[in-house]
Each structure stands twice: as structure tokens, then as C-alpha cells.
Amino acid sequence: MDDKELTKDGMIPPVFVSRKNKILADLSTPAEEYSDLSPKGSVDEGIRDLIQDINTLPGLVTTSSCAGRISVFLEGRRVPNSSEEISQANEQRKFVPSGGKGAGKWLYVSHEPLKMDSSSANKEKSMHEMFGLTPGDGKPPGIEKSQGHAPRLVRFHFEPLILHIMTATLHHAQPVLSAASSSGFRESGLQGLRCLEGDSGPSPIVAVRSAGLALESIIGYCEEEGDEPVIRSLVSEEYLRMLVNMSNERFSINTERKERFRTAILDGCSVRGSNGTKSKGKTRPGWEDPETRKERKRAEGLMRKKALEGQATKANDQNATHEDEVGIWHSLNTEAL
């Protein structure tokens, strides 16, 4: 169904159609040319199918997304107050790289579970090395080392899926919120009331999110007393591995909720056609709902089982024929003797 057509709530505002077309044009840019403001700089592979499905629905379009991620982040420096502090900050600014969050730095980012192998061949690169940390003694820096200021901390994060969906009207936002809440994303809601006050027309934005799965832990700090800053760890290798294991488990829960949301939103945002039947818009080619996929897999399994049974029966028949032939020749040889 085209966004310009009537829905059960009336005509979709032309301003939304224009906004959606622009967003879809950006998303259709080849992967090697596409770039956004995230650390990765592109749409996460783990959420690409969900985004494509949502964008086929009338009155909905995704504006930003994250499939979920493990990250290690070094805080930026606080804003200096005195002229002396400003001078010191300018002197140290050369350490702050680009591409960070504010004045900080991403030490590690992964949008997939982090595989850990206990074999000796894969233990050469520890979690400390992977996260850019120098092992320490587990003691935080003293006041004398931090020159009276709070140290810049290193934080380990697991962040679950977050998805922003622009809707044509509040009527279109309602089933999105319902699908999100029923799928486990209970902290979902409208991004802000300003989205209802646009000069060219309101386009409510729904934030799909779940804070309950989030995980955060301070794992280190930046030691800046020497000539070169050192990112020092406050925890053991075993502690880092525990955090990664916990995050991997939460990735699994995150994926389950994502699939439930996908099913719920495609069902909840269906619209009634003129004949009274449900239509889900321009469904992505090759997509099938969970029940259809289950039945297809079951049918394929039965066909494979039948084929294997047929092969086994044929093999048994051939063996029986061979044994009969051997028995006949054995009888003839016995009679000849």
C-alpha cells in the first residue's frame, strides 16, 4: 500500500511522505558510501531486516537504530573553569582522538556477541589487550595523582536494541508502542512533545528501548601523571570475561525480544483493505511470518525424512537381491560338486 493512499485513520500527511522518501533514499545508498553519526557509521547488520520490514509499513519510517552493542568508553575531560585549567587542557588536548563521544574515546565497540575461546591458541590476545587497557593493581588513583580532580574513567557497557520510528500521526504511533511494550521494550515512548509542534506538520517519533537489559561497570581510568597518558585497568582478566559472558547472555535475550517486536509490529500495523482483509503494505520479498516459516521447515523436514527412508529402502532391496543371487550361485555350485 502506498503512503499516499487512505488508511483507516485518513490521509497520511504529505509532509510525512516527503520525510519518509528522503530517509529511504539515504538508506538505499550503497553500504560503502553510506555513513551516519554512530561509531560504526552504518546500519547494524543485526537490525537491517527489521528496518526494511518496518519501512514497508504505511505511516512508519525508521530514523535511527542500534541492534545492541558491547562497548568500552574512555570519558572525556571535564570543562575547565579557570584560565590555568584551560591552558593545561589545551596542552593535553593532543591526546584526545577524533571519533569519540564528546571529548572521549571509544576503546572498543561490537554489535555482536563477543566470542571467547579458552584454547591456548586464542589466549594470546587478552580482554585487556582487546579493550586497550594496561593491567593495574586494582587500586584507584589517589588524590595526589589526579591533581585534585576526578579521574577520567573507563566504562564497560552493554546496551540493548534501541530504535527510533517516525510515525505519520499519533494514530500510527499507538500500535508501535503497543508492540514494543508487549515484546519486552517497556521503557518505550514518544521521544518528546516537540515532535508534535513542527511548523510543517507533526511527525511523532517513538523510541523503542529497554533499560532493564543494560549493563555498566567501571573497569579502569586514565593515568595522566607521566609524559604519555596510560589507560589503566582496575579489574582482573577474569572480571572482564565475566562481564563479556553476561553481555553475551543479554544479547540472546535482546535478539528474542527483537523478533517478538518484529512479529508484533507487522501484525499490529496491518491496515484493512477495501475487501475487509488485512494487508501489511509492501512486504519485503522473501519475508515470511513465524508460523509460515515453521510450517515450511516442518514440510522440508518431512520431505528429507521421506527421501532418506526411500534411499534406505532402495539400499535394502539391492542388498537383498545381491544376497539372493549369491545364494543361487552357492546352490548351483553345491549341486555341481
Q: What is the DSSP letter of 55?
A: T
Mean pLDDT (the chain) is 77
Range in 85-99, 261-275, 305-319 with the lowest mean pLDDT:
85-99
| Average pLDDT rounded to a whole number, residues 142-152 | 69
Give me the DSSP letters along 271-304: EE-TTS-EE-SSPPTT---HHHHHHHHHHHHHHH
Q: Which cell numbers hold the place of 167?
A: 510515525
Q: Which of the pair, 6 or 81, is modelled with greater confidence? A: 81
Tell me the pairing of strands 189-190 and 69-74.
unpaired
Burial of 296 (0-12, 13-18, 19+ CB in 10 A): exposed
pLDDT at 125 over 80: no
Quick one: pLDDT at residue 150?
Answer: 80
| Average pLDDT rounded to a whole number, residues 272-298 | 54
Q: What confidence category does residue 12 fall into, taking pLDDT thresholds of 50, 70 and 90?
A: confident
Quick one: pLDDT at residue 191?
Answer: 82
pLDDT at 287 over 80: no
The residues spanned by each domain of the chain are 1-287, 288-337
| Average pLDDT rounded to a whole number, residues 193-203 | 62
pTM above 0.75, yes or no: no
Q: Is the CB of residue 283 less than 8 Å from the CB of residue 56?
A: yes
| Average pLDDT rounded to a whole number, residues 5-30 | 78
Long-range contacts of 134-140 (CB under 8 A, 24+ apart): 134/230, 134/231, 134/232, 134/233, 135/233, 135/237, 136/220, 136/232, 136/233, 136/234, 138/234, 138/235, 138/236, 139/234, 140/221, 140/234
Q: Is the CB of residue 235 less than 8 Å from the CB of residue 220?
A: yes
Q: Which of the pair, 88 or 269, is modelled with greater confidence? A: 269
CA distance 195 to 2: 23
Q: What does the pLDDT look like over 315-331, one tens digit per residue?
A: 666 666 555 555 555 55
Quick one: pLDDT at residue 202?
Answer: 76
**If we measure between CA atoms, which residue out of 103, 81, 108 comes closest to residue 92?**
103
The H-or-E segment that residue 335 falls in is helix 290-336
Quick one: pLDDT at residue 181?
Answer: 94
Q: Indicate the SS3 state at residue 195.
A: helix
**If we measure between CA atoms, which residue out of 78, 83, 89, 44 comes closest to residue 64?**
44
3-state helix, strand, coil in the chain (%, to 5): 40, 20, 40
- Sign of the CA dihedral with 307 first, then 313, 317, and 318 last: positive
Quick one: pLDDT at residue 115?
Answer: 84
- Upper half-sphere CA count for residue 331 (Cβ side, 13 Å): 6
Q: What confidence category does residue 83 fall into, taking pLDDT thresholds of 50, 70 and 90?
A: low
Q: What confidence category does residue 275 fall into, taking pLDDT thresholds of 50, 70 and 90?
A: very low
pLDDT at 270 over 80: no
Q: What is the DSSP letter of 209?
A: -
Q: Which cell numbers hold the place of 117?
A: 575461546
| Average pLDDT rounded to a whole number, residues 101-113 | 86
Q: What does the pLDDT look like over 34-75, one tens digit per residue?
A: 455 555 557 788 899 999 999 999 999 999 999 999 999 999
pLDDT at 253 over 70: yes
Q: Which fold has domain 1-287?
A: SSo0622-like fold (3.30.1960)
Residue with cell 539391492: 318
